[in-house]
Amino acid sequence: MPFLKIIFLFLGSVLVISCSKSTDQVNISGQEFHSGTFISNGDTLNSKNGSNGRTIKGTLKSGQTYYLNSLFADATINAGDTLVIQSGVTVLIDGPLTGTGAIGTQDHAPGIVVNGTFLSIGTKANPVLFTVKDASLKSDPTKDPQDPNADPAFKGYWGGIQGGAGSGDIIIKWTRLEYLGGLTPLSAATRAGKARYGILVDNPGARFVLEDSWLYGSNNDMVRPAGCKYEILRNTFEKVGLSAGECVNVKSGSIGDIAYNLVVGGTGNAFKTANAGGLSPQSNMATYNNTIITTGYRQAKAGEGGSIDFENGGRGLAYNNFIVDCAYGLSVLGGGGATPAADTINISYGYTYNYGDNTTFTTQFLPAGFISVQKTGDINGGNNTTPGANNPLFVNYSLPRPNGTNFSEANYVGNYDFHLQSKSPAIGKGYTGFLPYAVVKKDAVFGVTEITSPGKDIGAFQADGSGNQH
């Protein structure tokens, strides 16, 4: 037998052996990544043989359906273990509608606690879905606009994705998560009995990716990076926070990019950074090319809670963002009050496109009590802007809004289309002379798919079709 043929046969044997050592090996089989064994279709992820809570690892198989049941405690991924969710998987939150164990009540809002690695890898054609099973619990879009206090979108039926202090990576792609913010168990060490954050990441050494996903309905913060390297790109946030909470609330130990996101109707800020928590590195966010619509109307704090906020030692940058009919414009806190100042030396911003229907909005483009100032490239940059000036000309979202609009209820996407018409004054007005932080590696499974560069147009939807894909 020729020498080279012997070598090739030997190498092939080594490869076969190395890929067959254990059922816990990670593999790419066919077109979908998987880890360990497949979890059976119809499995209850947070209970096995009646157990009150459960540890899970392995793979939820493409196209199959799984459950989290309110009668049981959290599902937990142990340190060193991995849970993979393939495309087209549906996870239904189930349980009694009334009585003991009713879904969403105290100690009956289970989540997934991540001490290992969590990978939800949907695709545009086949996204992953987390939602409640019973249709009677869901928000009825035909009733929009509706009173947030009566809208089931804010009820908090389940506990979301909770990364522990020693967690591995949390990677979420093309995934729709609904009805988050269920109550933390009374036995919890922190926030006992309070609404959980929809997604919490709490390890500065972990990588967190949230891209191309749709986040619908939460009781408090939808996403809290409380320690991680993060990329939050091209997502849609809808109906976030009943009376408090941000779409993304960045704390100490966290650094990353927040770009090309659409936010409609958040209760507080769309994006906020504050260096609270005592972790390293310093809280840092690069916010660029986001479209933020009607946020800040259910937040009690004056001046805080409307669009983009830097405070309490937070640092970063903000460019090319739309802020439309929000309670407050971009906010940089300069100190002198109960909340400490932002890291004002290390904050840069500009090329902000403000729009307001009336003087209630336009006189807060530069919020009172903050040190935000008009910057180069701003459109409608000051508080003397004429209401209705420089209509951004979205494809299907008429401005000004109808008389009598209740902006605390203007929190839904519906059939609106926030792409730009060809004559929009936002086209070509973006600033591209900076770089994303790009702190997470590019990888189809274990990293970010694409870090979209700063756009030449303002907002999340670029005229060339790039940016947000919803």
**Is the model's pLDDT at 56 over the cut of 50?**
yes
pLDDT tens for each residue of 103-154 = 999 999 999 999 999 999 999 999 999 999 999 999 999 999 999 999 999 9
Q: Report the C-alpha gap between 208 and 274 in whole angstroms.
A: 18
Cβ atoms 192, 184 nearer than 8 A: yes
Q: How much is the pLDDT for 306?
A: 84
pLDDT tens for each residue of 213-242 = 999 999 999 999 999 999 999 999 999 999
**Is the model's pLDDT at 13 over the cut of 70?**
no
Please report, rounded to a whole number, the percentage of residues in the chain having pLDDT higher than 70: 93
Cβ atoms 58, 37 nearer than 8 A: yes
Q: Report the C-alpha gap between 145 and 230 in whole angstroms.
A: 33
Q: How much is the pLDDT for 15?
A: 35
pLDDT tens for each residue of 183-218 = 999 988 888 889 999 999 999 999 999 999 999 999
Token output for 371? 């040190």
What's the average model confidence in pLDDT over 266-278? 95
What mean pLDDT is reported for the chain? 92
**Is the model's pLDDT at 250 over the cut of 80?**
yes
pLDDT tens for each residue of 318-338 = 999 999 999 999 999 998 888
Reported pTM: 0.93
Q: How much is the pLDDT for 25?
A: 43
Q: How much is the pLDDT for 7?
A: 38
Beta strands in 133-218 (DSSP E): 161-163, 170-173, 175-180, 199-201, 207-211, 214-218
Residues forming beta bridges with residue 263, ordered by sequence position: 237, 292
Q: How much is the pLDDT for 20?
A: 32
* Backbone dihedral region for residue 393 (phi beyond 0: left; psi -120 to 50: alpha; all else: beta): left
Q: How much is the pLDDT for 3?
A: 40
Q: How much is the pLDDT for 302?
A: 66
Q: What angle do CA 110, 116, 120 make, to 5 degrees?
A: 70
Please report, rounded to a whole number, the percentage of residues in the chain having pLDDT higher than 90: 87
Q: How much is the pLDDT for 18?
A: 35
pLDDT tens for each residue of 420-430 = 999 999 999 99
**Is the model's pLDDT at 71 over the cut of 50?**
yes
Q: Nearest-CA neighbor of 57 among 74, 23, 82?
A: 82
Query: Residue 300 — pLDDT band, cuts 50, 70, 90?
Result: low
pLDDT tens for each residue of 422-457 = 999 999 999 999 999 999 999 999 999 999 999 999
Query: Residue 31 — pLDDT band, cuts 50, 70, 90?
Result: confident
Q: How much is the pLDDT for 167?
A: 94
